[in-house]
Chain A
């Protein structure tokens, strides 16, 4: 303890300062330069062909989302029709009743869900369309990527414009806040943009892909969607021309209508575009489609929730003996072709068979029917649009010929049912085509807007509460109007 006090105190002080100095890592500038952990920064992305491919993949991936395929889609695209009703138990998700009876409040979450879901598709498309052009890569592949994005963007805007009318038109990723809050663009202009995208997509998309790329948008898909859009706009020459082209491509109807909707026939020769879904082991997050689950048979293990069920009106609408009735509707007490016995005392008399996945394919922990692709465009749609366009343009021969192709397949060789339509009266053919569309596309989310574009909304849905001048479109989500601070306006009557 008898240290020289001064020396010792100096040395300790010195040591202290040394220690302190060595503990000053913050003096280094890079100390605070900490990159985000485990996050890829946008500015180092969009550099390679792989990045472009991933960006396109994201577009397709998002198409499986709940908003695109489950409750919001049911609410907006199916519940208003005379084909479908709520289902499940009476008190379960009773807001579907408000869509069914057209008493919906603009605040209802499925309206904004559907709106947001479509705009998410559009954002992923715009990301690709904004960023991929500058990437140095194979020109053909680049053109294909851009065309795929344009196809999905067109599909999303089509779903929006027929649901809400005028909508904000976003064709680029907003750069700054000045581009965030934009007003609604007239429906006509939105349609014009959809057509532009589809024209450009048609030019660059290949007619088909190698197996590894099965499921991407094709030239046929762009043409068929364009025909549908043109049909909504009553541009019959365009409809005819696009569908004629599609009919000249390698599409054909499968012999059995029922089999079109089963897993082994996904992406078949009849398929023009499907949302690709799968059950990926170890990856519930990627196996996220709830399309089949929410409509599946209630009370059956591997079934589902039993929403969006066929109405008695639909069941009664089929022509006598039409096999499509049994292929479209699972009846309580029946045994499906795949051998599932449906409880005769189940909660609902009928379920959608087009979204049905055999119960044996259920894997515990995954959504029921996560494997099921969503059929968006089928060859029969091209045929019936072709028939309708030909009829509207006065060519009853072609109209009846295209119509008969669809009816012939539905007949499945049974000459005693579904007689060929032979009238040459334009109005009668038109009525026959309308009816055929209902039987062919029932429960495929087509009927509601199909009837409205036919101008028959009040006639067909009037008894349920549909009013002309109001219900052609759904209300714009109230949350969206609130957030726009009044830049967005509500549709009339809401």
Chain B
């Protein structure tokens, strides 16, 4: 241990990370710190010398050694325990028994621009410890949050390196990426994919408007505060090494038709469309090719994290390295991430502290074409992967047409795309304490990122539809250049013992720029990757384009926290935000908040009761803003695109004109929220319960509304303040933790959130907003948003069965395109014919209930964690079923249940399901999206201390972990979680500046769910 310590000290010095300041002459005091009740030793207890900043921490065995003046007073502090002061009085051994305090009282949570005792918080803030997150097998810290916090729902997307979707208390905003604001050590980010979960100390989710509003402008979708691990003053060097290896395995796979089934159905479809059968003898074709088996794999994953933490009496440091190597579930897909992080805090003078942290990330991804997933879903099982002569199986030989005219193996084999991302981010700060009660802090943060994707399409021949006589090299690169400067002045004082006052004043300025460039060259030769340069392509056949966005914010904020006798709490804040997206009078938005709390257990009249060990009620109100809108949306722009260039005499001439409509004015979208809650601890805090009721109005929500095609715009939409929305809900979470006489320590916690979404009014007045028109709904508008209903409900016909024959059609209300085997729609208005007036609400994509149960058990050296999680009260629209161009494959479920002659089915249509009459949005495509999942199961074993002491190792723990191993749902698609569609790096760049519409719950997802199984080790030296 000593040699390692020295080695790392030297290393640290080389890195200029450590400022070691020699101490004055003192005596050495040793001791042991333990719990006063169960006598267990307490590690990481902070031991400081009163009146100085010198201090250390107890080691893993609760032992401390500190050099202190003989007349000094030692201060022992530890979260959850009452602080003790012990005079040294020339003693060289001081053993201390710490008394457990009411946990709620001393617990500290991270809030905006600082920390607060949990007891002082009047809003709704939920915290998760870093180890809770890094323990899971998630590569992204956000995805590990799933099921952990009431009211926070996470939807993961399939491909390695892609970010999950997070929603806090329902859908609050519609435009933009809907991601919350992430603040990592004071720097603002829109995603935290770059963070190694092992580097996180705590993660706090600010759930209500009063807690969020100190981040005014960007808080509309919630705020996630992350503090990263830091060394501790005087703590010995600790080296942590964590590693796991495992694999990902596809689960809940949708079964597809085999070759003979496919051939049978394809013949049926062809016959119904008036053609001849495509296959002469379907039964002879057998099973054919299972494309999922052919292309998917059990994907290997491996992760290593190494960190070194420590501190002298003047400075602390934390250095960490991470390496992730993850295969995708599609063969050839691989993602590697290297992370390095350094943080260093130095007490330069008694009242001046400076510090910095820097993170460097490099990722390298061997990408796959994401069309491969839809190809696996639609590829014909009658096509062999390879012919006997070794050539690719060609669907064209079987005249299958466009829907299935590809060989997925060839798609994968001739796709060559590598993407690399480099990102450096961090901040540097100085903190000055003066005049006893004041702290001035200035902080400069920055981020520079570059993501590059190089795609090479070679000259090749695989199948008729998959061949190229020319090669193409495509280069896409996006750069992020952000900076943020913040200055805060804090005044903190306690008057007459009873009045705690904290006042914060602050200023912030930031700039976010993204710049994307895209270039293509043709006929680039290929001998090795060293040839992949645009300059080697044809000189007369090159393409280049770029785009950028630049947004700046200037903000001023203030906050007052006041507590009287720890009983009555009052918090108030205001933030003024200027955003460059808005012009003129609308540039600045103002975001106030106020909160109050009452700690009943600190009242005299509660002194004698024993039921509550803690009881607090609180209420708050606040306003937040949404800056996730494009720059100056009222400014009409001129389009100068290649498709507008005129051709005269075969020469191209630039064309430009205006082809969009902009609103005359646009105002800030604001979230106005109120929250009332309670926190209670029972039975000496073995049971803690927290409940919240909230209501949140999204006022003047900004999003694009579909507009009349006759306006002639290119996008058929107009941005504006289109609606007022409301989310109301209840959240309840409870934790029971205890210890049995037999030595079993355990905790069980559960959380549930209920959310009801309602549209209060829409800009179209009594006319609903129709949306959801995408390729996957064959151009139909599948959702409707109308005042009084939840946002974006599915809208369409109700099916009354399937037309069995001509007589059935004749006997039913007149329906355009009616055919035997087609859907029979309900004539809701009873006018004897099926028209658009017969459409109605057929489902609600907004989840009502989200819940999670998290358990931890520890017995002797074993520990077990089981996490469950689910969603209920939500509908999903399976848009894949009718998204057909021709002879795509069918699901096994469809094969087994389809109509194929009078009397064969009255629920499933014939193979003509993709016809325009059958693909009209209707109730057949809507089903419940509720699910329940065993999110995580982990069993660990820690080697006994006796062995470890011999090996001079503090801790060795082995574990096995299973994530998403069991998923239960009735939905017949791949997953009822309709999350973000995974994109590879090149697509991510193309989508940089795009926006979303009201398409929630329309499932076009063809990405299989997968479970992850890992084995890992945690080592501490």
Contacts and interface: CB of A to CB of B under 8 A. Distances in A.
Interface of A: 3, 8-9, 12-13, 16, 19-20, 23-26, 31-34, 36-43, 45, 51, 53-62, 64-65, 88-95, 97-98, 103-109, 112-113, 115-116, 119-124, 126-128, 167-168, 170, 173-174, 176-177, 180-182, 211-216, 267, 276-278, 280-286, 288, 299, 301, 305, 347, 363-365, 477-486, 490, 494
- Residue from A24, A94, A120, A277 with most neighbouring chain B CB atoms (10 Å): A94
A93 B349 CA distance: 76
Contacts of A182: 710
A116 B551 CA distance: 33
Contacts of B402: 88-89, 92-93, 305
Given A13-B432, A20-B487, A54-B654, A122 B400 contact: no
B579 interface: yes
A3 B430 CA distance: 20
B169 interface: no
B341 to A, nearest CB: 25
Contacts of A40: 637-638, 640, 656
B915 A95 contact: yes
Contacts of A19: 430, 442
Contact of A92 (B401, B440, B712): B401
Contacts of B914: 94
A243 to B, nearest CB: 26
7 contacts: A37-B631, A90-B270, A95-B915, A107-B920, A122-B712, A167-B710, A278-B652
A442 to B, nearest CB: 22
Q: How large is the interface on B (under 10, 10 to 19, 20 to 34, 35 or more residues)?
A: 35 or more
Contacts of B644: 57-58, 61-62, 124
Nearest to B887: A91
A214 to B, nearest CB: 4
B664 A176 contact: yes
A116 B713 CA distance: 8
A156 to B, nearest CB: 10
Contact of A58 (B269, B273, B469, B656): B656
B711 interface: yes
Nearest to A287: B642
B652 A112 contact: no
Contacts of B657: 54-55, 58-59, 124, 127-128
B432 A31 contact: no
Interface string B698-720: 00000000111111111010000
Nearest to B816: A105
A214 B469 CA distance: 32
B497 interface: no
Contacts of B887: 89, 91-92
A485 B764 contact: yes
Nearest to A116: B709
Interface stretch (B412-420, B777-785, B932-940, B996-1004): B777-785
Contacts of A286: 642-643, 645, 647, 652
B9 interface: no
Contacts of A42: 635-638, 658
B352 A12 contact: yes
Contact of B275 (A41, A90, A116, A482): A90
B542 to A, nearest CB: 5
B609 interface: no
Contact of B580 (A33, A90, A103): A33
A61 B273 contact: no
Contacts of A20: 440, 442, 487
Given A89-B401, A119-B711, A180-B661, 4 more contacts: A23-B444, A38-B546, A89-B275, A112-B709
Nearest to B509: A26
Interface in B546-572: 546-555
Contact of B886 (A93, A122, A212): A93
Nearest to B714: A120
B917 interface: yes
B640 A26 contact: no
A91 B432 contact: no
B604 to A, nearest CB: 42
A24 B472 CA distance: 48
A170 B542 contact: no
Contacts of A53: 653
Contacts of A93: 402, 885-886
Contacts of B487: 20, 23-24
A94 B271 CA distance: 12
Contacts of B351: 9, 12
Contacts of B193: none
A332 to B, nearest CB: 13
